[in-house]
Amino acid sequence: MKSAVWFRKSLVILVSVLTFGLVTPSDLSWLAEADSLKDTKKGLVEEEHLSYLSSQKPTDIEEEFNREEFLSGILDKAEENAFMKFGEKINPKIGDEFKIAILPKMEDAITEITSQFPDEKLQQLTITEQPSAGRAEKIFHIFDSISGKDIMRFHVRQENPPLEGYWFDFHYHTYHDSYATHYDLGKIYWDKNTPPEWTSKQRLS
């Protein structure tokens, strides 16, 4: 700032000398007025910008992460994968019982595990897109999209105890013990006959 004032005074003296006093310092007052006007406008612009920023809520500047909405999306996809797993042949027979007896326990398990993650880690979790077909057990896995590591594995196994017919055993595993423990969600009875393969579709007649 001092250098600007010094430069202005030097300019006034130089002009007066070169013009032999025909141009006086008062004639150069417009220079000072122009600088003053420029500073005023700059200050007003900065003040308006700061006022705008202070009036904005955090959600206006950066969208806030919503845990409930995120978890709801995971739970919806979990249910979708389960019915995709059953297919058109198994679903009509066990779908309603699954919704009443198994799905709530599945949702409770997911809610409990995900509650252990802070927001920034929770946002990295995702769910597999497709269940396994045939006789494979996988319904879906929840995993960390950054590391690729599974957090929970939800499976259903077809069992055939002697003289009891076929049962569907729903359970899950977690990363806490490297998926060793079998956490029971419940069983649904099928029939004396062998159940269709997972994801099977009805044949068109």
- pLDDT over threshold 60, residue 202: yes
Asked whether residue 103 falls in the same domain as residue 183, the answer is yes
Q: What is the spatial distance between Cα 134 and Cα 131, in angstroms, rounded to a whole number?
A: 10
In this structure, is residue 203 part of a structural domain? no
Q: What is the domain range of residue 35?
A: 2-61
Asked whether residue 46 falls in the same domain as residue 77, the answer is no
Hey, what are 133's tokens? 């077909």
Note the pLDDT of residue 61.
40
Asked whether residue 159 falls in the same domain as residue 83, the answer is yes
Q: What is the spatial distance between Cα 125 and Cα 71, in angstroms, rounded to a whole number?
A: 10
The residue from 61, 80, 96 where one domain ends is: 61
* Residue 165 and residue 192 in contact, taking contact as beta carbons nearer than 8 Å: yes
Domain count along the chain: 2
Hey, what are 193's tokens? 């006959």
Residue labelled with tokens 């308006």? 48
Asked whether residue 168 falls in the same domain as residue 100, the answer is yes
Q: What is the pLDDT of residues 48-82, one digit of tens each?
A: 656 655 555 544 444 688 999 999 999 999 999 99
In this structure, is residue 204 part of a structural domain? no
- Does the reported pTM lie above 0.75? no
* Residue 78 and residue 152 in contact, taking contact as beta carbons nearer than 8 Å: no
Give the residue-averaged pLDDT of 155-172.
96
Give residue 118's pLDDT band: very low, low, confident or very high (50, 70, 90): very high
